[in-house]
Chains A and B, each alone.
Chain A
Amino acid sequence: MTTAVSRIDWIRLSPWLYTIGLFVLWEACVLVLGLPPFILPAPTTIVAAMVEFWPAIWKNGLQTLFTTLAGFAAAVVGGLALGLLVGWSRTVYAGLYPLMIGFNSIPKVAVVPILVLWFGIGTVPAIITAFLISFFPVVVNVATGLATIEPETEDVLKALGASKMDIMLKVGIPRALPYFFGSLKVAITLAFVGSVIAETVAANSGVGHMMLTAQSNFQVPLVFAGLVTLAVEGIVAYALMAWVEKRMTGWAHRSGFAQ
């Protein structure tokens, strides 16, 4: 009676349907309201711009991707190291915590002029901005993973004569890994924010710079094409990190380990 086999899996389909729906709605709005392309270009106009300016989009897209990944890689290494240090010692934690909070509450766009002062306009300030903005969640997550070791687990090990190092290696680090891999999704997204901020302020290449140039030339469809490029890069990078997370910490998902 039931035709379960031929049923459509709406849950799997719906992300695609909603995305397509959004663009259709957008296109319709532009058509119906007769919006000119310099206010809001229709998706088809944006696609046309992407085709027309493909070499520029490709070059600048790669540049932004490179900047972001470089900053992200530095954030992963630095964040992991600092997170381990902070989670290792209560004293270091107490000392660094207010500093990190203070530092994290500085809007990173305000740091860019200083970076330009030191490194000049170009790729370096963008990489550093991406690093600065994305390393915080890595530190916090790694430190949290270490700091939330169950006291009883620690007692069991200490009563066996375990050193601090033993406890770190046997419990702390394995248990911090899901937190670490979980933070990568957030960090990569923030790294894009950082590099584009720096590119719009102080660069001569990258998607941010391209959009700013297009905007001053009233090439509004190209501005939007830049946005789409960033969205695509962001989604792919996020999906990659989500996949890595799932691969690396399967036990945490299956055991319902508290995140």
Chain B
Amino acid sequence: MSVPITLSDVSHRYGGATGTLALDGCSLTVRPGEFAAVVGPSGCGKSTLMKLATGLQFPFKGTVTVAGERVTKPVTMAGMAFQNPTMLPWRTTLRNVLLPLEIVRPHRQRFRADRAIFEAKAEDLLSVVGLEGFGQKFPWQLSGGMQQRASLCRALIHEPELLMLDEPFGALDAFTREELWCVIRDLQEARKFTVVLVTHDLREAVFLADRIFVMSGRPGRIIAERTVSFPRPRDLSVTYTPEFMAVVQELRAHISEARAAA
């Protein structure tokens, strides 16, 4: 179960040889089943790192390896969620959640035959994230937080071994955000998939992650790595302990340095 990711000395540029250097000599390893977080100043290449790790972009230098194989095409088993929920407005929430099953092998061949089973599974997942009974609503009838919950369901419906989250809670209010932290915490606890979470919220990173990577300003590389060893399952109250604050402060100092250097 679950997937290790390795980026070794990866550099990526947008727009040809004279374009923007987004990543420069970036190396990191995510272990199987690990919850990894990546933090860094805005525009440092965090989203680029996600795209490289999923084979949506390819580095001009260095190698990316996922599950022991060098990435030369889009990996086919990752679930992704972004800050923008990107629900398709012509599909109901349930059918949005089902979308990956219409695409991923081997589910797609069975989609018609097993539709009832798949739908039950999607309904289950919706109720896990607190969207019970909203499956027949269209995404634009849901609030931003509810759409984001649905987007998490879509990322997880095909039981991926790798979940890539790019600032998924960035546009939500503080309460909704903390609720969703707990949702993702519980889901990962139950299913043990590997997670890479990009965030600019240091508390979010410390609360959720096993290990946090701090990136420099653009061009991005990893300048610090911090293991978070608070016991699991973590309760939201841990975020108010001095130990927790200390880790957040430590990360903040790294980010300030990175920003000052840029």
Contact = CB atoms under 8 A, between A and B. Distances in A.
B100 A160 contact: yes
A61 to B, nearest CB: 38
B89 A161 contact: no
A159 B86 contact: no
B138 interface: yes
B140 A152 contact: no
B74 interface: yes
B186 interface: no
A59 interface: no
A23 B177 CA distance: 62
Nearest to A154: B56
B89 A159 contact: no
Contacts of B54: 155, 158-159
Interface range, B side? 20 to 34
Given A160-B104, A161-B105, A251 B90 contact: yes
Interface string A155-185: 1111111100010001100110000000000
Contacts, number: 69
Contacts of A157: 99, 103
Nearest to B99: A170
A161 B104 contact: yes
Contacts of B51: 155
Interface string A240-256: 00000000000110111
Given A171-B88, A255-B89, A156 B80 contact: yes
A153 interface: yes
Interface of A is mostly: helix
Given A155-B51, A155-B80, A174 B74 contact: no
Contacts of A171: 88
A159 B164 contact: yes
29 contacts: A152-B82, A152-B86, A155-B51, A156-B82, A156-B155, A157-B99, A157-B103, A158-B54, A159-B55, A159-B56, A159-B76, A159-B78, A159-B164, A160-B76, A160-B78, A160-B103, A161-B76, A161-B103, A161-B104, A166-B103, A170-B88, A170-B102, A170-B103, A174-B88, A174-B90, A251-B89, A254-B138, A255-B89, A255-B139
In order of increasing CB-CB distance, the 6 nearest A-B pairs are A161-B76, A255-B140, A255-B89, A159-B78, A158-B74, A251-B90
